Amino acid sequence: MSNDRLAALAAAGVSIWLDDLSRERLHSGNLQQLVTDSHVVGVTTNPTIFASALAKGGSYDEQVRELAARGASVEAAVREITVADVQQACDVFSGTWEATRGVDGRVSLEVDPRLAHDTEATVAEALDLWKAVDRPNLLVKIPATEAGLAAITRVLAEGASVNVTLIFSVERYRAVMDAYLDGLDQAAANGHSLAGIASVASFFVSRVDTEIDSRLDAIGTEEASALRGKAAVANSRLAYAAFQQLFSGERWDALAARGARAQRPLWASTGVKNPEFSDTLYVTELVVTDTVNTMPEKTLQAFADHGETRGDVVTGTGEQAQEVFDAVAAVGVDITDVFLVLEEEGVEKFEKSWTELLDTVKGQLDAARA
pLDDT of residue 174: 98
pTM, two decimal places? 0.96
Torsion from C-alpha of 208, 350, 150, 291, nearest 10 degrees: -50
pLDDT of residue 1: 61
What residue type is 30 in one-letter code? N
Q: Is 352 assigned a catalytic role?
A: no
pLDDT of residue 56: 84
DSSP assignment of 178-242, as one string? HHHHHHHHHHHHTT--GGG--EEEEEE-HHHHHHHHHHHHHH--HHHHTTTTTHHHHHHHHHHHH
**DSSP helix/strand/coil, 46:** coil
Q: Going by C-beta distance under 8 Å and a sequence separation of 6 or more, which residues neighbour residue 265?
A: 200, 201, 203, 236, 239, 240, 243, 290, 291, 292
What residue type is 242 in one-letter code? A
2 pLDDT higher than 80: no
Select from 343, 357, 264, 296 the least CA-distant residue to 14. Answer: 264
* Catalytic residue (choose from 141, 298, 352, 362): 141
Q: Going by C-beta distance under 8 Å and a sequence separation of 6 or more, which residues neighbour residue 52?
A: 22
Residue ranges and CATH numbers for the domains of the chain are 4-369 (3.20.20.70)
Q: Burial level of 265, CB count in 10 A (0-12/13-18/19+)?
A: buried
370 pLDDT higher than 90: no
Question: What are the CA-CA distances from residue 51 to residues 192, 359, 360, 368 (Å)?
Answer: 35, 9, 7, 18
How far is 95 from 105, CA to CA, in rounded Å?
A: 7
pLDDT digits (tens, 9 = 90+) for 138-193: 999 999 999 999 999 999 999 999 999 999 999 999 999 999 999 999 999 999 99
325 pLDDT higher than 90: yes
